[in-house]
Structure 1
């Protein structure tokens, strides 16, 4: 039914559209503080559904086919952000088994054995590890948070992560350092190593750029933002020995996380295309450097597939 409906959408609309799904981590098992991330079982049925009901293409190839008017109906591309090692350890075996291509947008500054984890993961780790009771961060300009129940921990992690996104880098570093000290526990390494990055590339997974340190670009001056974009690309190219053609804006909300200035920087850096986190499908009339890409949140296979078809039907006019 999904295949028939998707083909009918392409025929009746008279145009082709491309849905790009986006992930970050794949979890070994469910985690109440990471409810938006699929565990291994959910990721497997999602990939199986894509393999059976959609035409899954490499992202760069799909964009070229869209330009040429030769994009197959029901085309979907698979992407991951940030560069978590679970893409290598957990996702890659499933992608290989099902012969599915993918793109990983890598935050280059974390691809090393001693780079540590991203700040948001350190927040989550601390909230998971701290004992029950209040978490008073009022001296950092924040609030006193509750950690008594799992639901309170989930809310606290979400609120601290959202607050941290838009803090100045120095203030965010102080917050993360405080939480590290309070939790008193080592963080398990979460990010790709250079060897894992090379293994992904050797397996046909395209490596895209996602800046050096994953800042909100609007929080930086122009010189710093340009460096994050261009040097992140150069670092990855040095590691894999080939051009990095695709870019994803950190956090990805147009007008809030990046502006037209940053779009120009990405274009001038020599990328082929760049991606936001807007909902909807890619159509041929869109700005190549502000292409939508999102995640179907549905946990039931038919609704998951139907969500993708709705994106294809509505293009970038998907209701928010």
Structure 2
């Protein structure tokens, strides 16, 4: 959930104040308990403004991403997924261990992020939806975003009204689509909505996807191994789970894992929940992920991970921070404050993730 302008201004002022403090890391530790792993997630690395991504807060410019890597390598120790699996008690990890991850299948990760990660000697985990490789179709978020930016929210609302049983659902923004509508519908209902959207917008999705080239090719994905990237599971079609049948969520997990393993010739060992919410990590899903060989499960609620890691519930910070002070505040201060609030009120703070 995006912050209000007033909240953003307050956070910006606090970030600048913290960053100017000589003992800023010590001061951050005084706010809340230290934690053994910091984990950040990026999505699209691009200088180009695109109707497919404008409004969903997933894009970081290459310059800002390079700055983030410079910041990470100056103040943290980048680690690999294997380091987490080997040292889940947190004791074997280096001080200020940092895992860099990427979600979705954006081609910009191969074009910009991977070369920069290699330049700074930063390993990474890239969570991929196999359905969108080779640009034959669009991810639901990108299709919705494109229609909203080109034709407006009225077309989105009309598509919602075309879904039986959802005719009265009220939407006012893209945040409502991804935060309120998508979480409560089934895969069949989502497909009915997307098909109505294609028809109302007059879109040939395959041709549009091929022209946009938003996502990686299979060859690009295979080449990421040479950049010290490990590939993880991000579901087949990028979906919430809380409203899915067992048959549907098993298919989303297993099909993606099987296709990625067949393509890469390596085991998929980790899973990242689309949209990042613990509400989608149901008991049934967690059990299936464990049975199917996923050794680490990642969310994106921007909460501090405890010193003793829970590999079935690893939190990441979704960031588009424009500066060192903002990035420090997002990594060191806000996650601790959220962890404290969650312990007091037993409820997570709102967050934004894709």
Q: Give the TM interval when normalised to the shorter protein.
A: 0.7 to 0.9
The 8 Å contact of residues 20 and 281 in structure 1, kept in 2 or not, is answered as no
The separation in 1 between residues aligned to 2:88 and 2:30, in whole angstroms, is 15
Q: Are residue 159 (structure 1) and residue 183 (structure 2) matched? A: no
Aligned to 1:231: 255
Q: Are residue 110 (structure 1) and residue 129 (structure 2) matched? A: no
User: Aligned-pair distance for 1:107?
Assistant: 1.5
The 8 Å contact of residues 107 and 211 in structure 1, kept in 2 or not, is answered as yes
User: Aligned-pair distance for 1:313?
Assistant: 5.8
**Secondary structure in structure 1 of the residue aligned to 2:301:** coil
Q: Are residue 215 (structure 1) and residue 239 (structure 2) matched? A: yes
The 8 Å contact of residues 90 and 307 in structure 2, kept in 1 or not, is answered as no
Distance 1:13 1:127, change over 3 A: closer
User: Aligned-pair distance for 1:214?
Assistant: 2.3
Aligned residues: 308
The separation in 2 between residues aligned to 1:198 and 1:291, in whole angstroms, is 26
Which residue, out of 35, 38, 52, partners 1:19?
Answer: 38
Give deviations 1:36-61, integer Å, cap 9, x for gaps.
53222322222221122211112332
Aligned to 1:276: 299
Q: What does residue range 37-76 of structure 1 map to in structure 2 within 5 Å?
A: 37-67=59-89, 69-76=91-98
Indicate the larger mover: 157-166 or 94-103.
157-166
The separation in 2 between residues aligned to 1:273 and 1:39, in whole angstroms, is 29
The 8 Å contact of residues 274 and 290 in structure 1, kept in 2 or not, is answered as yes
The 8 Å contact of residues 252 and 258 in structure 1, kept in 2 or not, is answered as no
Aligned to 1:148: none
Distance 1:268 1:303, change over 3 A: same
The separation in 2 between residues aligned to 1:112 and 1:99, in whole angstroms, is 28
Structure 2: gaps of 5 or more residues = 1-18, 343-348, 350-354
Distance 1:317 1:237, change over 3 A: farther
Indicate the larger mover: 234-243 or 28-37.
28-37
Structure 1: gaps of 5 or more residues = 146-154
**Secondary structure in structure 1 of the residue aligned to 2:315:** coil
The separation in 2 between residues aligned to 1:224 and 1:213, in whole angstroms, is 11
Which residue, out of 119, 123, 131, partners 1:101?
Answer: 123
The separation in 1 between residues aligned to 2:154 and 2:89, in whole angstroms, is 55
Q: Are residue 176 (structure 1) and residue 176 (structure 2) matched? A: no
RMSD of aligned residue pairs (Cα, Å):
3.2
Aligned to 1:206: 230
